[in-house]
């Protein structure tokens, strides 16, 4: 297949049946309840954030707010930053990102490989610290930066309304009954949920959030202790699941070993949430967002704990 740009590969990700995990539930084993994962790490930037990042940049160019000579700058916990960096490289637009100092090493490496610059905010303040620093940079340098403001830009959820929700409806042949996604900016769960509800008002929209402020689910927000994004409307949710860190981490390992899916924290949490939903159903079709690839978290997850260095002599080299 010949494409004009890597950006043409954003979207149209596959929906994969989760076949082994959940088999302990009779309704899942019988097929009356089906669980699917939307494999968003197959976007070219490796996460679902390619979708809103591309839309916000396109709209910035269209409106004239993003002009030649300006730098794309936004706060990010990582995935949107990777998306901005990739898109900026493809379009020839410089990118500067404000990130908490404790985001995963792999994300930092990917971003700088694309040529973007990183300004680090306090690791103790998480994504909120990055938001405050980015706003200060924008206020002090209004003519230097184009700030998409992913937490408040309505084109963030609109990207999911126009693409993610449409794809899920088509891929399930209109049979989806429950949609589960983690809360970061809120764009995915809001935009996708609205679209699915436009197709069928009975679709249940369920958000997964960390269970406390000092959580280990990078990229997700504990809303009660955070700056609440302007695009997040909790009243539109049917349910919010409070997710401890450990079950989400454990599910990441299970998805790799039982389903062949290496995913990040939010995906693990979304699948745990999907199982909780499945437990209470007699029948239904649940779709969980698999936001990104787990290779961005190998250092944090310590997934090499079972891997040992093997001397060359032991493998015949």
> What does the alpha-carbon distance between residue 178 and residue 152 come to, in Å, rounded to a whole number?
26
Q: Which of 77, 121, 127, 266 is catalytic?
A: 266
The pLDDT score that the predictor gives to residue 78 is 85
DSSP line for 168-220: HHHHTTT---EEEEE-SSSHHHHHHHHHHHHH-TT-EEEEEEESSSS---TT-
Residue 305 known to be catalytic: no
Mean pLDDT, residues 104-120 taken together: 91
Cα-based distances in Å from 313 to 282, 304, 307, 308, 310: 56, 21, 17, 14, 8
Reported as a pLDDT band with limits 50, 70 and 90, residue 1 is low
Of 189, 206, 290, the closest CA to residue 241 belongs to 206
- Two tokens, residue 49: 């954030």
pLDDT tens-place string over residues 35-71: 999 999 999 999 999 999 999 999 999 999 999 899 9
Mean of per-residue pLDDT scores for the chain: 91
The pLDDT score that the predictor gives to residue 125 is 86
| CATH level 2 (architecture), domain 50-146 | 3-Layer(aba) Sandwich (3.40)
Query: Is the pLDDT at 4 greater than 90, yes or no?
Result: no
Reported as a pLDDT band with limits 50, 70 and 90, residue 137 is very high
Residue 4 known to be catalytic: no
Query: Is the pLDDT at 301 greater than 50, yes or no?
Result: no
Class of domain 6-47+157-301: alpha beta
Query: Is the pLDDT at 310 greater than 50, yes or no?
Result: no
In the DSSP assignment, the letter for residue 47 is B
For the chain, which residues make up each domain, given as ranges? 6-47+157-301, 50-146
Fold match between 6-47+157-301 and 50-146?
yes
The answer to which of 11-15, 100-104, 166-170, 305-309 has the lowest mean pLDDT is 305-309
Q: Which of 34, 38, 49, 108 is catalytic?
A: 49
Mean pLDDT, residues 239-253 taken together: 95
């Amino acid at each position: 297949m010949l494409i004009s740009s890597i950006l043409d590969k954003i979207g149209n990700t596959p929906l994969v049946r989760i076949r082994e995990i959940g088999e302990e539930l009779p309704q899942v084993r019988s097929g009356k309840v089906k669980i699917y994962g939307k494999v968003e790490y197959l976007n070219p930037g490796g996460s679902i954030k390619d979708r809103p990042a591309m839309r916000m940049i396109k709209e910035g160019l269209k409106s004239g707010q993003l002009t030649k000579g300006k730098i794309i700058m936004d706060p990010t916990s990582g995935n949107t930053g990777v998306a901005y960096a990739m898109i900026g490289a493809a379009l020839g637009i410089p990118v500067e990102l404000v990130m908490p100092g404790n985001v995963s090493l792999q994300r930092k490496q990917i971003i700088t490989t694309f040529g973007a610059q990183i300004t680090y905010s306090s690791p103790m303040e998480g994504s909120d610290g990055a938001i405050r620093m980015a706003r200060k940079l924008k206020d002090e340098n209004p003519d230097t930066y184009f700030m998409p403001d992913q937490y408040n830009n309505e084109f963030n959820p609109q990207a999911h309304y126009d693409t993610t929700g449409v794809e899920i409806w088509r891929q399930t042949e209109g049979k989806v009954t429950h949609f589960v996604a983690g809360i970061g900016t809120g764009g995915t769960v809001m935009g996708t949920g609205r679209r699915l509800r436009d197709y069928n008002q009975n679709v249940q929209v369920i958000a997964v959030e960390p269970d406390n402020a000092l959580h280990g689910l990078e990229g997700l927000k504990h809303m009660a202790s955070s700056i609440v994004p302007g695009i997040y409307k909790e009243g539109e949710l049917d349910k919010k699941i409070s997710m401890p860190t450990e079950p989400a981490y454990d599910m990441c390992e299970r998805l790799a070993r039982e389903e062949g899916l290496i995913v990040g924290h939010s995906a693990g949490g979304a699948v745990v949430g999907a199982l909780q939903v499945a437990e209470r159903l007699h029948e239904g079709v649940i779709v969980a967002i698999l936001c990104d690839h787990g290779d961005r978290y190998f250092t944090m997850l310590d997934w090499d704990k079972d891997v040992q260095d093997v001397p060359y002599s032991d493998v015949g080299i």
